[in-house]
Amino acid sequence: MPALYREAACLVGIDGPREELVRWLTDSEQELKVVSIVGFGGLGKTTLAKQVYDKIGGQFNCKAFVSVSQRPNMARLLTGLQSKLKRTEHCCTQEVQEVQDIISKLREHLTHERYFK
């Protein structure tokens, strides 16, 4: 969690990797892109991802930043994503949703959107 709130000015060596990711994600091609940030724990992957998200997130119709643990509760994670994308009409009911149903609703919502997650 502390990585999500760390100030950019306090980070050493993040500018190069951040700008490289920004270039990859903002080039003019209109194709689907997936960028993975991988490495051992404690290397700053979440911090780097958050810095990129903060820098270019405003260029997308939909955006959400979700930090994922090594063993996530998928229903809770996807319901939180729904909430961040303002798709809360179903996520706030007492009824437990199946993971596949949540995924289907999210896919339907994002079908014609340019999004960053």
Q: Mention every residue, 6+ apart, whose C-beta is less than 8 A from residue 27.
A: none
Query: Do 77 and 43 fall within a single domain?
Result: no
**Is it the case that residue 95 has pLDDT exceeding 50?**
no
Split into its structural domains, the chain has a count of 2
Angle at 19 between CA 18 and CA 25, to 5 degrees: 90
DSSP assignment, residue 115?
E
**Between residues 3 and 21, the one the model is more confident about:** 21
Model confidence at 4, pLDDT cuts 50, 70, 90, reads low
pLDDT tens per residue across span 20-77: 999 888 877 767 777 888 888 888 888 899 999 999 988 887 888 888 888 889 999 9
Query: Do 24 and 54 fall within a single domain?
Result: yes
Query: Do 105 and 89 fall within a single domain?
Result: yes
Domain membership of residue 32 as a residue range = 1-59
Query: Do 6 and 40 fall within a single domain?
Result: yes
pTM over 0.85, yes/no: no
